[in-house]
Chain A
Amino acid sequence: MVCEEFRDRFSALLEEELSPLEERVVREHLASCSECLKDFERLDKTIRWLHSVEEVEVPDAFLSGIYEKMEDRKRKGLLAYQVKRGWFNYPASLKIPIQAVAMVATVFLVLYLTKMIPVEGPRLKDVDRAKEDYSEIKKMETGSIPRETKKEKAAALPPLEKPGLKDIGPTRAPVPREEKAGRRLAQKVTGEENRPAVPPPKTEIAAAETPRLMEAEKTKAPSSESVKLEDGVATKEKTSLAAKPPPEVILRISDQAKVVSELQELVKRFAGETVTVQENILLVSLPALSFSEFEKELVKLGSSAKAGKMMLQKDALEGSSAPAGAKKREGEGKVQEPARPIPGREGYITVRILLLRE
């Protein structure tokens, strides 16, 4: 047994836990080994010193400090518990008012939004319409679109006279077409009279013809044109006055100056106004209600007049890609397109009168 093994038994020797035999062997080694004896004595002293260490007194207010900490912990714990509880554990006396306020706020929000949407909608439509008009004007001004293309576009548009569209009423789709036609007329008036392009079909009636004759003519030609014409008339009657295209009248005359002066007087008599007089074209503005009377007087003026339906005929012809009835009349005159009602004069319609010398 080496010294280290004896040293491992020092604590047991000091606590008297060794057997008598083991104790005798260790003590014999200590008697013979001064190093182990010195080490043993130092350990013995260390342990005696440890046993001599006295207990320290507990600081004052130890128990009261515990109670104070206990109170602090209760407060913190209560706070933590309240935070942890969440919405579902709140009492009904608190939850119900909060829910009621939230409900009222939601209702007000919904009402506000539903009120706002109808106001915003038409404004956006107006903006779209204005953009559309502006682009059309641009195109017309630059003349970048050839006439044939416009015609194709017009032909591609679904004809208004289709029965399925009757119930639609005054839709916005025809308006650009009317605008286009009006602008084309304006171009024509300013010097495009000799253009060789194929004009849209027009209707021309002799001055001597009466409205009854006109009806007779229509019955004689039960073509697709006339069928569409009837449908178109029915459709147009349903539309409002403002949406009706302004009528155009072709008069066969012999003395232009005389007829023009008479026409101007006639217009004045009907509380109308002569807008422009340009060579053989007159643009007059008349109260819409007195147009039928004006039409009768126009017939008496010396030439025949066929108003109102002519424009419809023209639309029908365009929609059906120039049917036979239209082709017959192609050579008789120039392209006549309706003018737009003068803005700011509501209840008035613009009538275009084309004078043709016989």
Chain B
Amino acid sequence: MGPSPKIQKEVIESCKAGSERAFGEIVLRSQKKVFNIAYRMLGNREEAKDLAQEVFLSVYESIKDLKEEVKFDAWLTQITINHCRNRWKYLQRRKYFKSESLDDPIETEDGDIPKPLYHPADNPETLYEKRLIQEAIQRGLLKLKEEQRELIVLRDLQGFSYEEIGELFQLPIGTIKSKLHRARMDLKQILEKANH
């Protein structure tokens, strides 16, 4: 999974000037990344869609404040992460995730499916198994701490570099690597527990 296509500086400037066409272009170029981060962070398509739309509304309202157009992607990711954190807190207050466990079915694009009856050590051969793996990963992500989930989503799912993540989190790269390793180990542990 690679980063979204680079948005040209002129488009950002046009959007700053109030061009809805430029804004639409920014949305089309960035929507997949924003929506996927939101979906992996929240685990729900509707919530992710709503959150991603809110992110772009924030972009439209505050793009005038963006000083450096070259940092647009980092700026957009930061807005997305911030929205995800706020929405996560909001959903937690509403006990949205309380009843969920790795044994519960999770929403997918095709509807709810039962928990995968496999171990990460097993070799998923079929497409069905691949889908089961993805859902297991999603369940595991939701069991992680928020920061760990962010790190794994950005690095392992979205392909961000350590430098980019370090800038977003305002942390040294070494610290990011260490934290990411701990997050991966915890996810591995969660998947093992879910299988037993």
Task: Indicate, yes or no, whether A interacts with B.
Answer: yes
Chain A residues proximal to chain B, CB less than 8 Å:
7-8, 10-12, 17, 39, 41-43, 45-47, 49-59, 62-63, 65-67, 69-70, 73
Contacts of A63 in B (CB 8 A): 24, 27-28, 31
Which of A11, A41, A50, A66 interacts with B57 by CB under 8 Å? A66
Contacts of A41 in B (CB 8 A): 121
Which of B35, B57, B180, B184 interacts with A62 by CB under 8 Å? B35
| A51/B156 contact (C-beta < 8 A), A63-B31, A66-B27 known | yes
| A11/B27 contact (C-beta < 8 A), A58-B32, A62-B52 known | no
CB-CB contacts below 8 Å: B29-51 with A: 31-32, 35-36, 39-40, 45, 49
A44 CA to B82 CA in the complex, in Å? 30
Contact A7 B57 (CB under 8 A): no
A69 CA to B52 CA in the complex, in Å? 12
Contact B120 A56 (CB under 8 A): no
Which of B39, B52, B181 interacts with A12 by CB under 8 Å? B181
Residue of B nearest to A63 (CB): B27
A41 CA to B120 CA in the complex, in Å? 10
Which of B35, B137, B187, B188 interacts with A58 by CB under 8 Å? B35
Is residue B134 within 8 Å, beta carbon to beta carbon, of the partner chain? yes
A22 to chain B, nearest CB (A): 14
Contact A66 B56 (CB under 8 A): yes
Is residue B157 within 8 Å, beta carbon to beta carbon, of the partner chain? yes
Q: A56-B39, A62-B49 are in contact. List 13 more A-B contacts (CB 8 A).
A: A46-B184, A52-B134, A53-B40, A54-B134, A55-B32, A55-B36, A56-B109, A57-B32, A59-B49, A63-B24, A66-B56, A70-B57, A73-B57
Chain B contact residues: over half helix, strand or loop, or mixed? helix
Contact B188 A46 (CB under 8 A): yes
B93 to chain A, nearest CB (A): 23
| A47/B121 contact (C-beta < 8 A), A55-B36, A56-B45, A66-B57 known | no
| A69/B191 contact (C-beta < 8 A), A49-B133, A55-B1, A56-B36 known | no
Among A12, A46, A47, A63, max chain B CB count under 10 A is at A46
Among A17, A53, A54, A57, max chain B CB count under 10 A is at A53
Residue of A nearest to B178 (CB): A8
| A50/B156 contact (C-beta < 8 A), A10-B181, A11-B180 known | yes
Which of A43, A58, A73 interacts with B184 by CB under 8 Å? A43
Contact A45 B121 (CB under 8 A): yes
Is residue B87 within 8 Å, beta carbon to beta carbon, of the partner chain? no
Is residue B53 within 8 Å, beta carbon to beta carbon, of the partner chain? yes
Is residue B130 within 8 Å, beta carbon to beta carbon, of the partner chain? yes
Chain B residues proximal to chain A, CB less than 8 Å:
1, 20, 24, 27-28, 31-32, 35-36, 39-40, 45, 49, 52-54, 56-57, 60, 109, 120-121, 130, 133-134, 136-137, 152, 156-157, 177-178, 180-181, 184-185, 187-188, 191-192
A308 to chain B, nearest CB (A): 101
A329 to chain B, nearest CB (A): 107
6 chain-A/chain-B pairs, Cβ below 8 angstroms: A47-B184, A56-B36, A58-B35, A62-B35, A66-B56, A67-B20
Contacts of B45 in A (CB 8 A): 56, 59
Contacts of A53 in B (CB 8 A): 1, 40, 133-134, 137, 157
| A46/B181 contact (C-beta < 8 A), A53-B137, A70-B57 known | no
Contacts of B40 in A (CB 8 A): 53
Contact B60 A70 (CB under 8 A): yes
B132 to chain A, nearest CB (A): 10
Residue of A nearest to B181 (CB): A11
Contacts of B152 in A (CB 8 A): 50
Contact A42 B120 (CB under 8 A): yes
B167 to chain A, nearest CB (A): 19
Contacts of A57 in B (CB 8 A): 32, 109
Q: Which 8 residue pairs of A and B lie closest in terms of their CB atoms, listed nearest first?
A: A11-B181, A50-B156, A46-B188, A58-B35, A66-B53, A59-B49, A45-B120, A55-B36
Contacts of B185 in A (CB 8 A): 7, 10, 43
B16 to chain A, nearest CB (A): 16
| A69/B184 contact (C-beta < 8 A), A46-B120, A49-B120 known | no
Among B56, B121, B181, max chain A CB count under 10 A is at B181
Contact A49 B137 (CB under 8 A): yes
Residue of B nearest to A11 (CB): B181
A176 to chain B, nearest CB (A): 82
Contacts of B20 in A (CB 8 A): 67
A62 CA to B178 CA in the complex, in Å? 37
Contacts of B28 in A (CB 8 A): 63
Contact A43 B188 (CB under 8 A): yes
A54 CA to B39 CA in the complex, in Å? 12
Contacts of A66 in B (CB 8 A): 27, 53, 56-57, 60
Contacts of B1 in A (CB 8 A): 51, 53-55
Contacts of A62 in B (CB 8 A): 27, 31, 35, 49, 52-53
Contacts of A12 in B (CB 8 A): 177, 181
Residue of A nearest to B108 (CB): A56
